[in-house]
Amino acid sequence: MSGITVTPTDTELQEQATLLRESHPALGVGKLLAQLKIDHPDWSVSEKRFKKFVSVTSSAGSDATNVNVNANGNGNGDTIGLTSTSTSVSQSKSTGDDALIAKTGIDHSIDVSKIAPKVKVKMFNVDGKGKGLVAKEKLQMGELLWQEDPWIVTNDASLWPYLSSHEMCTQCLTLFPQPNPPLSVMCTYCREAHFCNRLCYSKASSSSSSSSGAGCSSSAHNDFLCPGQNPGCSALLSFIHQKKARDLDGVARIIASWKREREYGDEKLAKEIERRVWGSLARVSQKAKEEERREWPFISKDRMEEWRLTHLLILRALNPSPMDEGYKPFQKFLNSKRKSKTTQPLSNEEEERWFSFESFLELLGLIGLNQESSGGLYALHSHLNHSCEPNVQVRNLPKGWIAPTPSELPAELPPPMTAQTRGTNRISMIVKKTIHPGDELTISYVDQRLSRDERRTKLREQYGFWCACQRCIKEKKAEDAEAQTKAKATA
């Protein structure tokens, strides 16, 4: 990165001002300018000049909006809402209940028409509802909408025994027929990672802009999280495995993916990762979310201490201070990767955005809202909203599965997966029932076999909202009718 500043042309400034206003409709000019300086640190732009190119009033068709974590909305005032904000989660009392607020928006790096030709992104901008996916044409049961690889790879704790014993690929999570099969490859620097072949190893050790249309694609075995290259990450990885802390694993991988590109990789890709994390993916501070729990007064002290500890582990692994004993080995690792590249130190804004305690809590909340159990964070999948009567099924299918042809539709859904037929971390979105043009695509965030109260409690605790989908409303009416009948019978 260079210390030289440049003055952008009117065209360049207008383009960026428009993009910022669409992504952050709730922010004032000053905060939008601060965001511009983060996105373009080499630009010299005065606030007076910037004001000429940005409209303070948010347009109805903007790509970022006040949204509920619950995409279904809730007219009863018991839904936790998400609102575009500048840096942190705050609260409002528009409904009589405290509402958690966070930021979300459309990820412009995703070429939706390339990934899922029959689907489009929609900003609902009604009843507190934000982004979602809708059908462009009629979709039939059994139809494959799209397949997607994770851009941040995280592994369920149940898979760690296979990974540690070299029975599974670190990159694609393919289960080997035997440990250390022929053609498999171990990491050159450590014994933590094992891969199907050199192709998977290559994908796992480098980041790139995905050719599939999904934008930035992150590595599964990042240099910063390889103990053979960055010894300072060992304590963090050990804690993650001991505590089965998949959420912390996700946070570490997000930061590491950005840090890698920022320090010695592709600066454009670093910006793309930054825009996706802080401008697109829904997030709400983990602390703000857990404060909603009834037991918070009794667990708050322990939780805060745990978060402080894990935040410190993140800092020591990925951004140690000069006073830290691991600072010199970390700098040696960085210099070995930078080679002849000159990189400026992190700015105060970058330090605050990526390594402050408040940002750490927001990233924890982001993981909780967006992580898919099959393998991590998925760019387009993260646009799907919840319903207890979903019309789309997310599947982790075997490599040999073949989607039905148009002439074979409608078709039965693929059979349940077994240990023997386990697929990779590539997910497939399958239509569960007929979907008409304009209908929203929805998935279930929880086990649909649970009762209404159990589903709603889990959704509230894990995702921060009380569900009010059609199934929940219908079951509530049935419960009320049954209660009235019993009351009359006993009167």
DSSP, res 385: E
Tell me the CA distances in angstroms from 73 to 124, 125, 151, 288, 458, one per residue in order.
11, 11, 28, 20, 17
Question: What's the average model confidence in pLDDT over 285-304?
Answer: 90
Handedness of CA 291, 293, 299, 305 (dihedral sign): negative
Spatial contact of 289 and 464, defined as CB atoms under 8 Å apart: yes
Quickly count: other Cβ atoms within 10 Å of residue 45's Cβ: 19
Is residue 255's pLDDT more than 90?
A: yes
Out of 180-189, 356-365, 415-424, least confident range? 415-424
Spatial contact of 70 and 289, defined as CB atoms under 8 Å apart: no
Segment 382-391, tens digit of pLDDT: 999 999 999 9
CA 301 from chain centre, in angstroms, equals 27
Please tell me the predicted confidence (pLDDT) of residue 466.
Answer: 83
- Percent pLDDT > 90 in the chain is 52
Question: What's the average model confidence in pLDDT over 339-346?
Answer: 84
Please tell me the predicted confidence (pLDDT) of residue 129.
Answer: 65
- Percent pLDDT > 70 in the chain is 82
Residue 173: Cβ-neighbour burial (10 angstroms; 0-12, 13-18, 19+): buried
Which one has a higher pLDDT value, 229 or 289? Answer: 229
Which one has a higher pLDDT value, 238 or 205? Answer: 238
Q: Quick one: which of 412, 399, 395 has its CA closest to 145?
A: 395
Tokens 């990885």 sit on residue:
237
Is residue 60's pLDDT more than 50?
A: no
User: How far is residue 312's CA from residue 9's CA, in Å, rounded to a whole number?
Assistant: 42
Handedness of CA 93, 65, 370, 236 (dihedral sign): negative
Segment 412-427, tens digit of pLDDT: 999 887 666 667 889 9
CATH architecture of 112-147+378-440+465-490: Beta Complex (2.170)
